[in-house]
Amino acid sequence: MSAAATTSHTGLPRTTATAGSAGRVILKRAAGSVFVLWAAVTLTFFVLRLTPGDPVTAILGGAGSSPSPETVAAVKAQYGLDQPVFVQYLDYLAGLATGNFGTSYIFKVPVLDILGPQILPTFQLAGLALVFAWAIALAFTLLTVGRGRVRDGIGRGIEVFFAALPPFWVGIMLALVFAVILGWFPVAGDDGFKSLVLPALALAIPLGGFIAQVTRSSFEEARAQPFVLSARARGLSDLAVRLGHALRHAILPGLTLSAWAVGSLISSAVVAEIIFARPGLGRSLVDAIINRDLPITLAVVVIIAAVYIVVNLLVDVLYRVIDPRITEKGATA
Amino acid sequence: MNQRNAPWAPTAAAAVVLLALTGCGGSASAQPADDTFVFATGKDISCLDPHVNGDMPQASIAANYLDSLVSQDKDGKIHPWLAESWKVSEDGLTYTFKVRDDVTFTDGTKFTAEAVKANLDHMVDPDTQSGTAGGYLKPYKSTDVVDDTTAVVTLNRPYAAFLEVLAQPFLGIESPTALKRPQAENCNSPVGTGPYKIVDYVPQSKVSLVRNEDYNSAPPFAQHQGPADIKNLEWQIVPEDSTRYGLLRAGQVDALDLMPSVHFAEAEADKNVALVLQDRPGNPTNLMLNTTRAPFDDLRVRQAFLQSVYVEAGINSVYFGTVTQAGGPLASTTKFYSPDFEDAYQPDPAKAARLLDEAGWTGRDKDGYRTKDGKRLVVHFPYTPAIWPTAHQALVTQLQASGKQAGFDVRIETGDYASVSEQGNNFDYDLRADYWNTNTADVLRIVFSSEYTESAGFVPNGSGFRNKEFDKIVNDALATDDPAVREKLYYRAQQIVSGNALQLPLYNQASQLAVRTDRFANLTLEPSLSLPYIYDVSAVKQS
Amino acid sequence: MSVALEPTTARGSLAGSPRPGQPASSPRGTAKAAAALRKTPIGVWIAAALLAFLVIAAVVPSLLIRQDPFVIDPATAFTAPNAEHWFGTDQNGRDVFSRVVAGTGQSLLLGLAATAIGLVLGGLLGITAGVSGKWLDSAICRFVEILFAFPGLLLALIVIAVSGTGTVTAAIAVGVGTAPGYARMLRTQTLQVIASPYVETALSLGRSRSHILWRTIVPNVVRPLFVLATLGVGQAIVWASSLSFLGLGAQPPAAEWGAMLADGRNYIQLAWWIAAFPGIFITLAALTTTVVGRHLQQRLEAEV
């Protein structure tokens, strides 16, 4: 790494703290995350206000010819749309602090009533997809790295191929083969572990191919390290060396990669949710965008961003806990 | 080098957490329990109270928890239901209903004549935004509650179709106590006297209902009395055609509606699946032509459009022939339907070309579209794909393409439901996809008379047609009970509509259900709108 | 999947350190190029050939198309692939092969436009941050950090929410979605260029700052962009077609791969070819651009 690199190779924002106790650093990082979250919410709030079209139309559901002015005024008052934008913003922030995300334009009920049941399914899907993706990546890496050029080439080829696959196409093909034709898995729905498998795989295969490329290069670097040679000199079998030493060294960048992957999975889970008719945040978001349901759109964005920021924060903390050598430059040997 | 002893700790911890997350995902079996009937519907339900707006998905589910004042049999005759008897005054303006005194709503409120007043008033209240029920009740004036079992309904003009519309779930009777709640709340948990009651609602996902154990108001067309056989009813919302059908095939749901035409052949071959098909009366699925602005303000251009599109080819291809083509303003299953208008507009490119020339659209631009005074013949068609079956979306694409050959630049402008509806209500379109299911030929008045060019809720008269002669005819037909007179009047009405090329009829609306026959039996269609009727379903005895 | 992001940052900085003023075609340079060509793996050649085919399909589809992709023919709907219709016909009787080829132009253009927008936006942010003083650099970094709080498609979806659906907005949306990643990379690259001896030399020679900026910094930052673009186009194509699949991008009857997949999904059991072939082409586009781009990047790095 060039000494001039001023962003950590993990892609995380660097702290301006000097080397202090781990606690102070973590606190500073947490404070930074809160700031980022607040800024993201604010940015989204004002950007979404730019949406053209009258929210009253969306709320009244395309009302019959000329809704009466009283109806329009009543709707505006009910949803706070008659206030100046900045007041609406402050009201929204205050609401967030108490867990109130406002009222859906389309469903006319509190946003959390709609989104509540969608959150866990999305996380289940993302979580399982992450596990599958890592399994795929590790399988490729362990089986094909350093075992000859042919294997290596095949491994690389398949990884690149997987990474290029569009997740929605994979989902359709998986559903066709394994659910419709073979009947091994349910076609759709949210009914236990079995109905999670195909949607998770659809997301996991492209992600796995991508992660595999990263773990492959980390693995190759690690294999060349002196500690590997000395381990083998001590008589450890190749397999033990692989599993034990080299892999452990790759965990750290793996954690960061996983944090990024979680974000990517949650935001692209929508295609799997649609193909397999599962409830989920992604699907709610797309429907809200299509129907111009601003409160739901805003809420989903806030939730996803919050989760992503928290996950990154946790990984960052974990990183420093696992390897105290991490300096604020973020580089490891 | 890192000498920590438990390098696997973070991964192991993560794995445990993930397993915990994935482990607790609902029931383990793919098949629902034997006392639960799962129905998958292909269209999302905007509000569970069918008074609000009022479309077929709402009516379908409402039939399970709402009873109506009167019922209809399959021949169209009216019978008692929540109303035991009624008397109509000589001038047809006053209906005196005697209602049952032994029925209770599932929230404990007793059913009385007060409920009749509360419900009818609710439907015509502008704040309810009732396009359908409110539209049917334009002749309604007021209700007087004489005593607990007597309600006197006053109309502002004779309305021969009044009892017919009262038999539909759109005008189902809800608890007055429940109606007093804010509309948003009532939309999520309406309360009725029906065989089922709502226990849970996950928007865009499913509605859970449970049997009403005190049910004692089954209509005459039901096959039994008392509580329903099936204890739990689950109404799942699955808009994707192939997913919905896949769920049925796999046995994860027991029945579905909006049976996708592409899977008909497969369903017919499957011995565990039965198809329940019934064409519905009313105004067929169609494209409305907006006569209030150019280019369709010119009759010749309208006629040219109707004669340049190939509906039959579309129905045979993307619908696989599973729907009945309609050529006139009434579906063939409607009373007083006349077949004379089926072939009024056959595809005839030469004639279409002549008509367009006559109307002044003589130029052609470099893309082949017709022009007049340098302006292109553009037809704006706002459209919300999400609320139409896949086959319909493919059909309109075909109509667009065949319109192009005649020189029409049909622009399918996809948009969200609210915006497209608003355009629809402001006559800001040239084509509008439409249909109207109802059990009476009075639908012609609702869809084509001047009175219905305005409405709270959606506007039914999509063509904007205003014709005094037509208005008189359809209102006269309401004022008389003589079937011969009504037949003549409705024939003339159909003639006027057809002659004015107000809409492009496509095919009859139909109830198309698929049911699994290995677990449950006896899914029928209720007579008023041919909606799925779960009340008489019973479990098949597993041997 | 952000193919462009992690591998490069994991492996290190972007291609090579700057070489101001060195002509591209020195005798030594040509000999090196020839040697590199000989060492190119067969896989890359195949990918390049397929990519060329796609580009031809995009630019001159009439060479390959045999039937009008928009003309309907309901009588021949749902025909399986045969000699006359290589990829079969869809629900309206349209030739799928013609539609897929016709869609190449639109889909590739979407990906290219999105990548270009992302690079321009990201470049503006990143280069400005790199050459600016601490305060502006910090501010821009913070801003990009906030944008990074929106993972994956989320930024793109926000743009769509505001600007509506359609091909143009889809391109802008994907561009905005990829911009933060490019911003960060280009900032790093800019800082490297600034720290290089050539800039120091130029400074000591008394060149004006804008001269250095435009003659030294920008060209050296921009040069590796071409490779970045090839890596990014594949991902942009997948993202853009995802948006179309969701109904947020290209609208029917447009012959765009994602939209065709959404259409064909409903007939998957009856006519698998309607959905299969557009998907194959999306994968092909992403795959070939990635392989070729990756190879070019390695070549560029090796030349240092």
- Gap from C73 CA to chain A (nearest CA, Å): 26
Q: Over the range A256-270, which residues count as b (16 or more CB within 10 Å of their CB) and which as e?
A: bbbbbbbbbbbbbbb
User: Cβ contact (<8 Å) for C266 and B310?
Assistant: no
CB of C74 less than 8 A from some CB of B: yes
Arithmetic mean of pLDDT over chain A: 81
Question: pLDDT tens digit string along B439-448?
Answer: 889 999 999 9
User: Cβ contact (<8 Å) for C75 and B317?
Assistant: yes
Cα–Cα distance measured from residue B62 to residue B54, given in angstroms and rounded to the nearest whole number: 10
User: Cβ contact (<8 Å) for B313 and C70?
Assistant: no
Percent of chain B with pLDDT over 70: 94
ipTM greater than 0.85, yes or no? no
Question: pLDDT tens digit string along B268-279?
Answer: 999 999 999 999
Question: pLDDT tens digit string along B39-59?
Answer: 999 988 888 999 988 889 999
Amino acid at A215: T
Q: Where are the alpha helices (DSSP H) in chain C?
A: 5-11, 27-38, 42-59, 96-131, 134-147, 154-163, 167-195, 197-204, 209-212, 218-222, 225-245, 257-264, 273-302
Cα–Cα distance measured from residue A45 to residue A43, given in angstroms and rounded to the nearest whole number: 6
pTM of the model as a whole: 0.81
Residues of B in contact with A108 (CB under 8 A): 183-184, 187
Residues of C in contact with A287 (CB under 8 A): none
Give kind and range of the element (H or E) at residue B448: helix B443-448
Q: Which of B317, B385, B412 sits opposite C91 (nearest CB)?
A: B317
Query: In this structure, how many other beta carbons lie within 10 angstroms of the beta carbon of residue A306?
Result: 17
- Checking if the pLDDT of A312 tops 70, the result is yes
Q: Which of residues 18-47 of B touch A (CB under 8 A)?
A: 18, 21-23, 25-30, 46
Question: pLDDT tens digit string along B133-186?
Answer: 888 998 999 999 999 999 999 999 999 889 999 999 999 999 999 999 988 889
pLDDT value at position B305? 96
Confidence grade of residue B418 (pLDDT, cut at 50, 70, 90) = confident
Question: pLDDT tens digit string along B458-513?
Answer: 789 999 999 999 999 999 998 888 889 999 999 999 999 999 999 999 999 999 99
pLDDT value at position B32? 55
**Which subunits have 3 or more CB–CB pairs within 8 Å of chain B?**
A, C
Exposure on the CB side of residue B44, measured as CA atoms within 13 A: 15
Residues of A in contact with C157 (CB under 8 A): 267, 285-286, 289, 301
| Residues B236 and B38 sit within 8 Å (Cβ to Cβ) | yes
CB of A38 less than 8 A from some CB of C: no
Residues of B in contact with A193 (CB under 8 A): 22-23, 25, 28
Cα–Cα distance measured from residue B368 to residue C57, given in angstroms and rounded to the nearest whole number: 25
The residue of chain B with its CA nearest to that of A110 is: B184
The residue of chain B with its CA nearest to that of C78 is: B317
Percent of chain A with pLDDT over 70: 80
CB of A163 less than 8 A from some CB of B: no
Question: pLDDT tens digit string along B4-35?
Answer: 333 343 344 444 444 444 333 333 334 556 78
**Which subunits have 3 or more CB–CB pairs within 8 Å of chain C?**
A, B
Residues of A in contact with B386 (CB under 8 A): 290
The rounded radius of gyration (Å) of the Cα atoms in chain A is: 24
Q: Exposed, middle or buried by CB within 10 Å (0-12, 13-18, 19+), for C209?
A: exposed
The residue of chain C with its CA nearest to that of A268 is: C153
pLDDT value at position C11? 33
The arithmetic mean of pLDDT across residues B205-223, rounded, is: 94
CB of A331 less than 8 A from some CB of C: no
Residues of B in contact with A281 (CB under 8 A): none
Residues of C in contact with A308 (CB under 8 A): 149-151
User: Cβ contact (<8 Å) for B422 and A63?
Assistant: yes
Give kind and range of the element (H or E) at residue B516: strand B510-516
Distances (CA, A) of A115 to A200, B145, C183, C269: 20, 43, 33, 33
Coil, helix or strand at residue C174: helix
Percent of chain B with pLDDT over 90: 66
Question: pLDDT tens digit string along B356-411?
Answer: 999 999 999 888 899 999 899 999 999 988 888 888 999 999 999 899 999 999 99
User: Cβ contact (<8 Å) for B401 and C71?
Assistant: yes
CB of C68 less than 8 A from some CB of B: no
The arithmetic mean of pLDDT across residues B88-109, rounded, is: 94
Residues of C in contact with A161 (CB under 8 A): 283, 287
CB of B241 less than 8 A from some CB of C: yes
Confidence grade of residue A66 (pLDDT, cut at 50, 70, 90) = low
Cβ contacts of residue A75 below 8 Å, gap of 6+?
Answer: A56, A59, A60, A81
Residues of C in contact with B390 (CB under 8 A): 266
| Residues B195 and B205 sit within 8 Å (Cβ to Cβ) | no
Question: pLDDT tens digit string along B436-471?
Answer: 998 889 999 999 999 999 877 778 999 999 999 999
The arithmetic mean of pLDDT across residues A199-212, rounded, is: 93
pLDDT value at position A145? 78
Confidence grade of residue A144 (pLDDT, cut at 50, 70, 90) = confident
Residues of chain C falling short of pLDDT 70: 1-39, 252, 303-304
CB of A188 less than 8 A from some CB of C: no
The arithmetic mean of pLDDT across residues A126-155, rounded, is: 87
A107 DSSP 8-state letter: T
pLDDT value at position B28? 35
CB of A11 less than 8 A from some CB of C: yes
CB of C148 less than 8 A from some CB of A: yes
Q: Which of C92, C265, C268 sits opposite B394 (nearest CB)?
A: C92
